[in-house]
Amino acid sequence: GQNIDQPTEMTATEGAIVQINCTYQTSGFNGLFWYQQHAGEAPTFLSYNVLDGLEEKGRFSSFLSRSKGYSYLLLKELQMKDSASYLCAVVDSNYQLIWGAGTKLIIKP
């Protein structure tokens, strides 16, 4: 079966760095998305990785290792507004999205 694993909940301190991991087992791979979703709002696109390596975009970076079936989202200089759910989604060989359950990130002052 196809599976995406990410932690259910994480807590971090304002100004710190947090890494949210995502491991996947899917039938084929055509890219991996990270989305941010605040309660009651639509998910917001953060990153798309299809090749191995690290992609940096401001305070957010995303890493992909296809051989390990692993990705992480790195958030630096955490702000209170970063409190949200972070969704990992993989595009499989049929170009279907396989969603992780999301990681709820709680930022404390």
Which residues lie near another protein (CB under 8 A)?
Answer: 35, 37, 39-40, 42-45, 48, 85, 87, 89, 94-99, 101-102, 104
What torsion do the CA atoms of 48, 51, 56, 61 make, to the nearest 10 degrees?
Answer: 70
Considering beta carbons, is residue 48 or 60 the nearer one to another protein?
A: 48
Identify residue 97 by its one-letter amino acid code: L
Considering beta carbons, is residue 3 or 15 the nearer one to another protein?
A: 3
Smallest gap from Cβ 99 to another protein, in A, equals: 4
Considering beta carbons, is residue 41 or 109 the nearer one to another protein?
A: 41
Take residue 89 and report the two structure tokens written for it: 């989604």
Q: Are 63 and 74 spatial neighbours (Cβ–Cβ below 8 Å)?
A: yes
Give which of 41, 49, 47 is closest to 81, Cα–Cα.
41
Considering beta carbons, is residue 30 or 65 the nearer one to another protein?
A: 30
Smallest gap from Cβ 104 to another protein, in A, equals: 8
- Three-state secondary structure call for residue 71: strand
